[in-house]
Amino acid sequence: MGLVIHQEKIDAAAAAKLAALCPFGAISYDGTLQIGAACKMCRLCVKKGPEGAVTFEEETKPVCRKEEWNGVAVFAEQHGGSVHPVSLELLGKARELAAVTGHPVLAVLIGHRMEKAAEELLRYGADRVYVYDDPACADFLISPYANLFEDFLKKAKPSSVLVGATALGRSLAPKAAARMRAGLTADCTRLEMKENTDLVQIRPAFGGNIMAQIVTPNTRPQFCTVRYKIFSAPERREPRGEIVRMAVTEDLLRGGTEVLKVIRKPEEIDISDAEVIVAVGRGLKTKEDVRLAAALAEKLGAQIACTRPLVEAGWFDPRRQIGLSGRTVKPKLIITLGISGSVQFAAGMRNSDRIIAVNRDPHAPIFDIAHEGFTGDLYEVLPLLIRRIEETSHV
């Protein structure tokens, strides 16, 4: 399988066209056409190049028996018995996905003293909760957790597996996926289900303004991770479904790591839970001007956040950064000031309930996702707005 070069159809002109077409500079010509290791298999040379010069030869891969894999599973992350909210959001999404194929919604829970947590998962829509409860699982240990997760995957055989893209999830999911030789798509921003049980995973790709739709057509299970605040948690309801207690054997607990100390992080800035956010970007001219935005944030009881360049400039703590390399937020209201709206930034906030954007450039991509767009200079609008708010609050 792969690209086949038909040298007999390629002259210098065709080669030049192909070389210009390749976005990754992988095509060269020295009498014969070469496709080098920079190739990312985007297949533009096949689709847009001279007819028949480069072709893509499909090779039918062996397809696993998909019908043996049944269920949409959520890895339920917990710390000290309380379930991480991202797991609840994933249960909501799992319910939607499972409705397409008529699969059950499964949850797997690993920890110690998990009775309450297991019941919570039933309340948020799990049909079956598989519980591995053992004192040795109280803290996160990579090998035992991976072994138990694998035990669940092999026994329950879920078709899709959703894991929160937390520090723990991003450590455990790839380990489990590699062990199962399964496909894994990180940081999905949209998930859909095909009737043939293929999970459609959509995420920003190539680090740029492109979305990629990814499927795992031949193997099961299909793993994906999703960040906190991308989806919404379902309504809490009366628990339905069952709790399945799984055996934790010595064998499964084996590993080479020993936990020495666990400390809770001190309370810190967390913009991902904020209900209202005022975000600033490169439209801000100096570090001192941050106080303009801070003044508005104070009036609204909002957290202040920013784009990557402002963190790189040292104006803000990295914990205030929104975007793919920062936090994902889903507030009731976000006001963006002087932010053009790169796809990396948008990926971190586009699910906000209400987006108000102020930017001088009427063509800025932020206006494509904003609900209310204001074409104007923040240096004019902001002081007037703050004065307006102050006037009325004095009345």
Partner 1 sequence: MDIIVCVKQVPGTSHVEVDPVTGVLKRDGAAGKLNPYDLFALETAFRLKERIGQARVRTLSMGPGQAVSSLLETLYMGADEAYLLSDRVFAGADVQATSYALKCGVEKLGKFDLILCGKQTTDGDTAQVGPELAEQLGIEHASNVLSVDEICEDSVTVTMNLDQVIQTQRMKLPCLLTIEKDACTPRLPSFRRKFATKEDAVTVFTAADVPDLDLSRCGLKGSPTQVERIFPPEKGGGREMHEGDGEQLADELYGILRSGKFL
List the interface residues with partner 1, window 323-382 (CB under 8 A).
324-325, 332-333, 342-344, 346, 350, 354-356, 358, 362, 367-377, 380-382
Comparison of 148 and 243: residue with beta carbon closer to partner 1: 148
Sketch the per residue contact string, 15 through 44, with partner 1: x for CB under 8 A, - otherwise: -----xxxxxxx--------xxxxxxxx-x
Q: Least distance in Å: CB of 92 to partner 1?
A: 21
Q: Least distance in Å: CB of 82 to partner 1?
A: 10
Name the pairing type of β-strands 27-29 and 33-35. antiparallel
Comparison of 125 and 164: residue with beta carbon closer to partner 1: 164
CB 93 within 8 A of CB 162: yes
Q: Residue 130 contacts by C-beta under 8 Å, 6 or more apart in sequence?
A: 106, 107, 108, 109, 152, 155, 156, 244, 246
Q: Least distance in Å: CB of 173 to partner 1?
A: 7
8, 235, 238, 265: which one binds partner 1 (CB under 8 A): 265
Q: Least distance in Å: CB of 45 to partner 1?
A: 11
CB 91 within 8 A of CB 124: yes
Segment 281-300, which members bind partner 1 (CB under 8 A)? 299-300
Q: Is 279 in the site for partner 1 (CB under 8 A)?
A: no
30, 68, 258, 288: which one binds partner 1 (CB under 8 A): 258
Measured from the Cβ of residue 112, the count of other Cβ atoms closer than 10 Å reads: 16
Tell me the angle at which helices 290-300 and 378-394 cross, rounded to the nearest 10 degrees.
40
Segment 62-101, which members bind partner 1 (CB under 8 A)? 79
User: CA-CA distance, 22 to 138, in Å (whole number)?
Assistant: 51
User: What is the residue type of 268?
Assistant: E
Segment 48-67, which members bind partner 1 (CB under 8 A)? 48, 59, 61
206, 285, 291, 361: which one binds partner 1 (CB under 8 A): 206
Strand partners, 27: 35
CB 122 within 8 A of CB 240: yes
User: CA-CA distance, 142 to 23, in Å (whole number)?
Assistant: 39
CB 203 within 8 A of CB 214: yes
Q: Least distance in Å: CB of 222 to partner 1?
A: 8
Q: Least distance in Å: CB of 167 to partner 1?
A: 5
Q: Residue 308 contacts by C-beta under 8 Å, 6 or more apart in sequence?
A: 321, 323, 325, 326, 344, 345
Q: Is 214 in the site for partner 1 (CB under 8 A)?
A: yes
Q: Is 135 in the site for partner 1 (CB under 8 A)?
A: no
Q: Is 217 in the site for partner 1 (CB under 8 A)?
A: yes
User: What is the residue type of 240?
Assistant: R
Q: Least distance in Å: CB of 124 to partner 1?
A: 20
CB 74 within 8 A of CB 162: yes
Q: Is 196 in the site for partner 1 (CB under 8 A)?
A: no
9, 17, 112, 175: which one binds partner 1 (CB under 8 A): 175
CA dihedral defined by 96, 97, 100, 101, rounded to 10 degrees?
Answer: -130
Q: Is 316 in the site for partner 1 (CB under 8 A)?
A: no
Measured from the Cβ of residue 288, the count of other Cβ atoms closer than 10 Å reads: 9
User: By CB under 8 A, which span of 120-128, 232-240, 252-260, 280-288 interacts with partner 1?
Assistant: 252-260
Comparison of 261 and 394: residue with beta carbon closer to partner 1: 261
